[in-house]
Amino acid sequence: MTDDPPPHPALLPAGLSDLLPPEAEQEARAVALVMEVFGSHGYRRVKPPLMEFSDSLLAGSGAAVAEQTFRLVDPDSQRVLGLRADITPQVARIAASRLADAPRPLRLCYAGQCLRVRGSQIAPDRQIGQAGIELIGSTNPAADAEIVVVGAEALGVIGITRASFDLTLPPLAPALIDAAGINGPHREALAHALDRKDAAAVARHGGELAGPLTDLLLASGPADRALAALAAASLPGEAGLLAEQLAATVASIRTLAPDLRLTIDPIEFRGFRYHTGVCMTVFTPGRTEELGRGGRYLTAEREPATGLTLYSDALLRAAPAPVARPLVYLPANADREAARRLRAEGHATLGALGREEAEAGRLGCTHVLRGSRLVPLGRD
């Protein structure tokens, strides 16, 4: 009988990974640029802790990620802590407590890491970088439009200029089903059919809703076609108000950013359990993964809010690779003021630690600083 060999020191748990050069620096730069855009639109940065008491972390919209939240007992207080799976509920808590007296609408932004219990087949990562904005205290469709337009501008500064925003109304289908009084197995079967985009099953289980729901199901796509289908459906009560809010949001977006690509899926509701109105998912052509997600919700204090979260790891994969910074070798007698100017201009410098100038090329240097003169490596 032999003992199992120890695990390799580089082995990490499933869904977790190291980010190495140059990707780690590229991701940090992208997040910094995105946050600069958020700040330029009046969104003030907050920094919630990685862990909180689970009862406060999972209150309000946080309940939607309870199953994805790691929990542990705090040795100090002996209370259960939660390791955040999403930052949005924390921002909502800050707005309702520490910033309760701040003028509304309140604009906040954030960036940080989250950890989830499990990944999915499409998105297996369990550690997720987030950078986002929250606009709290307004029900105006212009607030939803601002979230989309600011998000698009942030994507543009990192080179993602062809982003598409897929707008949805998660409460619409449940509101229609409630109004029609469909319950029990029929409701479950209809919800399953809508989730799978199965028009034939919707027709079988939809009853009086079969026609309108099928029309809306088939209207998914470019914004104009979907809005026309929503208008033609003459939706009653809450569903009609939701459709009006979506139309007003689209109109506001087009006023601010007429060239932004918008699609609409009127009856999509997967993964939006706490959202109460217009929501959005961000994609870019040629990629199936989401770059971000957000939408309208209520805080634990029932205050209206809307927001958008961008996923930094997805941004890194979707953005064009930046031009690598030139790396300059600094011999011991190099002009230090000239080196400082080079760094200010975007170069990186590698200071001499010994006699490794002969290996500067192997270390990645492209130039060497001779006194105050920048010389391509190998051209002395």
Per-residue tens of pLDDT for the chain, all 380 residues: 566 677 777 789 999 999 999 999 999 999 999 999 999 999 999 999 999 999 999 988 888 889 999 999 999 999 999 999 999 999 999 999 999 999 999 999 999 999 999 988 778 899 999 999 999 999 999 999 999 999 999 999 999 999 999 999 999 988 888 888 888 888 888 888 888 888 898 888 888 888 888 888 888 999 999 999 999 888 888 989 999 999 999 999 999 999 999 999 988 876 556 789 999 999 999 888 999 999 999 987 889 999 999 999 999 999 998 888 899 999 988 999 999 999 999 999 999 887 767 778 888 999 999 989 999 987 66
CATH number of 18-158+280-324: 3.30.930.10
Identify the burial level of 140 via C-beta atoms within 10 angstroms of its C-beta, where 0-12 means exposed, 13-18 middle and 19 or more buried.
Answer: middle
CA distances from residue 96 to 60, 69, 82, 84 in whole angstroms, order as listed: 11, 22, 19, 18
130: region left, alpha or beta (phi > 0 left; psi from -120 to 50 alpha): beta
- Look at residues 120, 93, 126 and name the one whose alpha carbon lies nearest to residue 297: 93
Q: Where are the beta strands (DSSP E) in 252-363?
A: 261-265, 275-283, 292-298, 304-311, 327-330, 348-351
Lookup: tokens for 78: 């002996």
- Residues 269 and 250: their CA atoms lie apart, in Å, by 19
Entry pTM: 0.92
- Quote the Cα angle for 34-58-190, to 5°: 90
Tell how strand 261-265 and strand 221-222 pair up: antiparallel
Count H helices, E strands: the chain? 12, 16
Q: Contact at 8 Å (CB) between 350 and 360?
A: yes
Torsion of CA 146, 152, 156, 160, to 10 degrees: 170
- Residues 27 and 44: their CA atoms lie apart, in Å, by 21
Convert 285-321 to b/e letters by CB count within 10 Å (16 or more is b).
eeeeebbbbbbbbbbbeebbbbbbbbbbbbbbebbee
> What is the distance, to the nearest Å, from the Cα of residue 201 to the centroid of all Cα atoms in its chain?
33
Q: Contact at 8 Å (CB) between 169 and 151?
A: no
**Which residues on neighbouring strands pair with residue 293, listed in sequence order?**
281, 309
